[in-house]
Amino acid sequence: MIDAHADQDWRAWFAEHGARLRLIARQWTRSEADADDVVQEAFVRFWKHQRHLPGNPNALVVTSIRRAALDLLRRTDRRSGREQAVAAEAETMTWFEPEADPRQQALIQSLALLSAEQREVVVLKVWGELTFDQIGEQLQVSPNTAASRWRYAMEALRKHITARAHD
């Protein structure tokens, strides 16, 4: 089989993209530790079975992350939905490096106010670098639904940031 990325230094690739991959994994996991585990497992799966495939590996790695996250959720389904929702709201600040700029801090806090569905579209679009078609495939929704969630998310973020600016 021909390796389309024979010259690729995958350690360097992961060093460059690992942070945004972890943020994507965080959308479908319950803790930082789970996100680490999922990213590791997903990238190893990709590296073993799919790294030779042609094209941009990004979408394949994201797909691998989603599968690994869903596998983990099925294996460790022990928390209640309420606990998960609370955790998701509380932890958005830990998803990013600390920012000194108050506008960036406000933006991070604003992400926590989005619904989980809107937030995952935002993360997949901005940090996953996926198109709405690809996001639709990942989430098993139509591209229009993905685009609609994106528009609502942008509107909600803008409203929140504007409200904070007036405070």
Partner 1 sequence: MTDPDHDLTSALASLRPRPPGPAVTAALARELDPPAARRGVILAWSTGLAAAAALVLGLYLGVAPAEAPAPSYQLVRAEQSPANVEVLRPVRLDDGSFARPVRVRWDSTTQWEDPRSRTRFINFRPNETTTLLPLETY
- The contact set with partner 1 (CB under 8 A) reads 10-11, 14-15, 18-23, 32, 35-36, 39-40, 43-44, 47, 94-97, 99, 103-104, 107-108, 122, 125-127, 154, 157-158
As a whole number of angstroms, the distance between CA 155 and CA 97 comes to 24
As a whole number of angstroms, the distance between CA 47 and CA 57 comes to 10
As a whole number of angstroms, the distance between CA 152 and CA 70 comes to 25
Cβ-based nearer residue to partner 1, 11 or 79: 11
As a whole number of angstroms, the distance between CA 159 and CA 147 comes to 18
Cβ-based nearer residue to partner 1, 82 or 166: 166
Cβ-based nearer residue to partner 1, 63 or 110: 110
As a whole number of angstroms, the distance between CA 136 and CA 150 comes to 12
Cβ-based nearer residue to partner 1, 25 or 81: 25
- Tokens describing residue 43: 């990238």
- Tokens describing residue 19: 């942070």
